[in-house]
Amino acid sequence: MIPFEKCPVCGAELKEKEVEKLLRGGDHTAVLRVRAEVCLHCGERLYAEETVRLFEQIRNKLKRQQLSDFQPVGQSFRVDADRNTNPIETDAA
Ligand SMILES: [Zn+2]
């Protein structure tokens, strides 16, 4: 399944967990719950090949607006980060 026993990034131990994966295609976003091997040290996620293929299928459907398989769960919002990063004024010299 997954060709790694240790994290390929930092070499630490991997543990199978259920994770949320956000996928984007065009203007649409889908959230999936999938199994992944997660590094206990750096948080790197490794997905099985069939899981990666599923991601691609879903991205393509999102891009082509083939949305009938998906359940809407709320709206997505884009936030313009520039407007939310005003420097904080302090009295420090
Ligand atoms: Zn790692």
For 44-90, write each residue's pLDDT tens digit: 999 999 999 999 999 999 999 999 999 998 988 888 877 666 677 77
> How many Å lie between the centroid of ligand 1 and the Cα of residue 2?
15
CA 28 to chain centre: 14
Residue 33 CA to residue 45 CA, distance in Å, equals 13
CA–CA separation, 16 and 63 (whole Å): 30
Q: Give exposure, 40-63, as e/b (b: 16+ Cβ within 10 Å).
A: eeeebebbeeebeebbeebbebbe
What is the Å distance from ligand 1's center to 14 Cα? 8
Q: Does the global pTM surpass 0.85?
A: no
What is the CA 42 to chain-centroid distance, rounded? 15
Categorize the per-residue pLDDT at 36 as very low, low, confident or very high, splitting at 50, 70 and 90: very high
Taking the centre of ligand 1 as the mean of its atom positions, its distance from the CA of residue 19, in whole angstroms, is 16
Instruction: Determine phi and psi for 18, rounding to 5 degrees.
Output: -90, 130
Tokens encoding 25: 């295609």
**Distance in Å, CA 9 to ligand 1 centroid:** 5
Instruction: Tell me the CA–centroid distance for residue 69 and ligand 1, in Å.
Output: 34
